[in-house]
Amino acid sequence: MTIKDFWIKLCTMKLTKQIRPQELIKHETKKHVSIKFLLLLVGLIAYFAWLSWHYGFVTGGTVSLLTWSFFVLCTPIADAGFLIDFPLRLIFRVHMCMSEIFVWGIALTVSVLAANFSPEVFETTELTSLFLKIITHPWPYWLIVFLSGGGTFLSILFGDELLDCVNHHERKFHHKHQLLYQLIVIAGVLVLIFWGYVHLLDKLGVTLPWL
């Protein structure tokens, strides 16, 4: 099955099969997804608590949300969006690749509103400072957004398949497209590292003549 065929199938498919609570522990693939979700949730809560301790509740919450938006839009993995996609899949039985579109809408809305009405909050951390530069400079910084989009939606398709299977050897879509995903992730990470380095040089007052 190709990626195109998979999307066509999803667009014409009804709601997913209801996942029973015991399956999240008994099934190999679902247990893997559940542990991943809990670790990501604990990480986000800890990061929010640390920011709130240092910068206050409002600023800490805003920066946490912007950091989450950065990982949604600028990294080629679906971990940030997965924090919303996974509960929606369990509660409403919608495919995570569909709810990920909603996640991107939230991240884009939050980023645009913050950039227009409170751009100074981006300077709280180096990561959000880089994020502001990415979203306000379409060329060439949006290259990382396009790469991240490809990697993210392929990653979330893998996640959907995980919840549809019982054992890892049943993941035919993942096995077929794993190499493509790895190449996208490597390219996305390299581009992100490069622009992070350029951003750091810019902060230090060093200008590269060829940029």
Residue 9 has pLDDT above 60, yes or no: no
> What is the tens place of the pLDDT at every residue in 83-142?
999 899 888 888 887 888 899 999 999 999 999 999 999 999 988 998 998 888 887 778
Confidence (pTM): 0.81
Percentage of residues of the chain with pLDDT beyond 90: 31
Q: What is the mean pLDDT of residues 50-71?
A: 94
Mean pLDDT of the chain: 79
The distance of Cα 74 from the centroid of its chain, to the nearest Å, equals 8
Residue 167 has pLDDT above 80, yes or no: no
Q: What is the mean pLDDT of residues 46-75?
A: 93
Residue 175 has pLDDT above 70, yes or no: no
> What is the tens place of the pLDDT at every residue in 155-166?
887 777 777 765
Domain positions in the chain: 19-201
Residues contacting residue 136 through CB under 8 Å, at least 6 positions apart: 115
CB atoms under 10 Å from CB of 207, counted, come to 10
Give the pLDDT score at 159: 73
Give the pLDDT score at 124: 92
Comparing 45 with 167, the larger pLDDT belongs to 45
* Angstrom distances, CA of residue 182 to CA of 1, 100, 101, 150, 157: 19, 20, 22, 11, 14
Q: What is the mean pLDDT of residues 29-43?
A: 89
Give the pLDDT score at 37: 92
Distance from C-alpha of 161 to C-alpha of 93, rounded to nearest angstrom: 13
Give the pLDDT score at 66: 96
